[in-house]
Structure 1
Amino acid sequence: MSRLAQILLAALARLPLGWLQAIGALLGRITYHTSPQYAARIEENLKKSGVCANYQVYQEYVKKSVAETGKGTLELALAWTRDSADICALIKSCDGWEHVETALAAGQGIIFVTPHLGAYDIAGRYIASRLPFSLTAMYRPPKLAWLEPVMQGGRMRDNVKTAPATPAGVRLVMKALKNGEATIILPDQVPGSGDGVWAPFFGRPAYTMTLLPRLAQMNNVATLLFYGERLPAGQGFAVHISPLPAPFSGDKAQDGMLMNQAIEQLIRRCPTQYLWSYNRYKTPAGASGPHTETPAP
């Protein structure tokens, strides 16, 4: 199954970007109309997010989000099979790279932070290709076991390494940062029980990772937000990089809220490209619910 998936991805990656995205948009719409659970989650998350000014905007955002999610799925074929030169050719602009250069000049380790927004795998590969050292990307093994070697093979290229979201993986990331290297973290993934705090995300309590604030407070580490914006009509992508709006304090609840606010600001820039189908508000097994959690003494 893994080999078949790799062949299929390589074939899709040969298509012009506009064609690939058009097929992805169609698949996204088909999934929306054939999966009631998928459709309901997108609708609920968008409706309750507050990003839609009125019902007409909400309807428009649902349609666009469905298509953009489909595009993002097929774009993995590009991110996981094309070489770095091809990936860089797809990036039409990059603003904020001066923040990376400042960190490099200071010899700092760099934490690149991106939510499930736009073409995050493509943007990550672009950033990695411009760094003079290794980048370690944290990941959570997929539920489908056969998909992991495909994903790993696609991401572990050039100077990219991966680390699982486990204590051993965290130690690898900390070592990389101490050595002045870089990592990528997706901060809107729901952590396991005991690894998060409840913090508001678009006005609703969401179990939020504590790992990123902890890493960001290491000595000589810079934390930079980024996302890859999908340009219209198959034109390519634009990468946007910016510093964290405010430093973390060390208070888990406060830092969780700060992190989610920073993520919200990015998403509001192109809300239809966010992965609204993700079950962001679930309660992990073994974790107390948001209204039953006992504050730490």
Structure 2
Amino acid sequence: MHSFFRLLSVLPIGLLHFLGAVMGWVTFALSPTYRRRFVGNAKQAGYSFRQVRAAVGHAGRMVFEMPRIWLGSSLPHCTIVNGECVERVFAQGKGLVFLTPHIGCFELSVHAAAQRWAAQHGDITVLYRPARQAWLAKILETARNRPGVQAVPTTLAGVRQMIKTLRKGSAVGLLPDQVPPQGLGMWSPFFGREAYTMTLAARLALQTGATIITARCERKSWGRGFVLYFEELATPLSPTLEDAVHDINVAMEQTIRQCPAQYLWGYGRYKQPRVDPQMSPAAEKEQA
């Protein structure tokens, strides 16, 4: 499997996207559970299947482009739009929290941002959960640590590193629509339905005074590269944790609505949280 990943990492993005789109539709056709979740999540957000059917292929593209992002000798071409808002935050000497939902090539978002700003403002710190499969864990040990990116584990030590990063005026990156382990989130509306939502993103911003910037990295057609969009929150983050978590969910909804055809509607956003012994409720309290 490691050799297969290496092979994919040298193929052109256009070919990877073609293969991925085929795989996306095959998976959709063969998995009733995935198909029901995809259609149900899209309907919850107000979309018919016809409106978001392109997301079926984009889910497969996301899988096939990952080896290229992780192991490729260079990053695919990515145009940055509205990078000025990022530069304003750095110019103020404040920490920055990049937030992106499971949309487009979210793996490329942090690497493209690091390529642009890490040399001047320090590495971007991201959390990762070690893979259960030994072959994948070996790849991920180094894959996400490209120049300018520091990956830390989903432990209390990793969270402390993120706080330290923000306090020195550098940046961190998170996927706030990822369902956290039991005890590390709270129930908050997401497209009108209660979803277990991480509190970490809100806690980091409230505790350090860091600024939140949303990001979405859209794929261009025919393997022509990517476009990375940055935006500031429409309104300041609320001072209370519960309201701040809701503010972030609203921001993620708005980001998704800007490109619903590239969101992972098949992700189990409304699932029950699992128990993670590495990040207990006691660790969550210590974060604060």
TM-score (norm 2): 0.89
Structure 2 counterpart of 1:160: 149
Matched residues in 1 for 2:67 and 2:174: separation? 21
Measure how far apart 1:33 and its partner are: 1.3
Match of 2:257 in 1: 268
Structure 1 residue 282 displacement after superposition: 1.2
* Residue of 70, 75, 78 corresponding to 2:65: 75
Does 1:41 find its partner at 2:31? no
Deviation at 1:167, TM superposition (A): 1.4
Matching of residue 27 in structure 1 with residue 23 in structure 2: yes
Separation (CA, whole Å) in 2 of partners of 1:237 and 1:222: 25
Could you tell me how far apart the structure 2 residues matched to 1:262 and 1:123 are?
Answer: 17
Deviation of 1:195 after TM superposition, in Å, equals 1.4
For residue 44 of structure 1, what is the amino acid of its counterpart? G
Aligned counterpart, 2:52: 61
* Aligned counterparts of 2:193 and 2:171: Cα–Cα separation in 1: 31
Question: Does the Cα contact within 8 Å between 1:78 and 1:122 map onto a contact in 2?
Answer: no
In the other structure, the counterpart of 2:279 is: none
Deviation string 1:269-292 (CA, Å, 9 cap, x unpaired) is 110211111111012247xxxxxx
Task: Note if contact 1:198-1:253 (Cα within 8 Å) is conserved in structure 2.
Answer: no
- Whether contact under 8 Å (1:113, 1:186) holds in the other structure is yes
Match of 2:10 among 14, 22, 42: 14
| Counterpart selection for 2:181 from 162, 178, 192 | 192
Q: Which shows bigger deviation, 142-151 or 33-42? A: 142-151
Stretch of structure 1 that moved more, 245-254 or 116-125 = 245-254
Residue 77 of structure 2 aligns with which residue?
90
User: How far, CA to CA, are the matches of 1:285 and 1:161 in structure 2?
Assistant: 26
Deviation at 1:253, TM superposition (A): 2.3
The counterpart of 1:106, out of the listed 67, 80, 92, is 92
Q: CA RMSD in A?
A: 1.8
Q: Distance in 2 between matches of 1:215 and 1:256?
A: 11
**Local SS of the residue matching 1:146:** helix
Indicate if the aligned counterparts of 2:110 and 2:149 stay in contact, CA closer than 8 A: no
1:225-244 equivalences under 5 Å are: 225-244=214-233
1:223-245 Cα distance to aligned partner (Å, 9 max, x none): 11111011112111000001122
Structure 1 residues 12 and 285: alpha-carbon distance in aligned structure 2, compared to 1, 3 A threshold:
closer
Going from structure 1 to structure 2, the CA distance change for 1:145 and 1:207 (only over 3 Å counts) comes to: farther
- From 191, 207, 214, the equivalent of 2:196 is 207
In structure 2, runs of 5+ residues without a counterpart are: 276-288
The amino acid of 1:212's aligned partner reads A
Give the 3-state SS of the residue equivalent to 1:130 in structure 2: helix
In the alignment, the residues of structure 2 paired with residue 242 and residue 149 of structure 1 have an alpha-carbon distance, to the nearest angstrom, of: 34
Alpha-carbon distance in structure 2 between the residues aligned to 1:94 and 1:81: 22
- Letter matched to residue 151 of structure 2: T
Q: Which residue among 244, 250, 256 is the counterpart of 1:255?
A: 244
Mapped to 2, the partners of 1:208 and 1:246 lie a distance apart of: 20
Alpha-carbon spacing, 1:166–1:263, altered in 2? closer, same or farther (3 Å): same
**Alpha-carbon deviation of 1:60?**
4.7
For structure 1, list consecutive stretches of 5 or more residues without a partner in the other structure.
287-297
CA contact (8 A) 2:83 2:230 kept: yes
Query: How much does 1:10 deviate?
Result: 2.5
Q: Deviation at 1:212?
A: 0.7
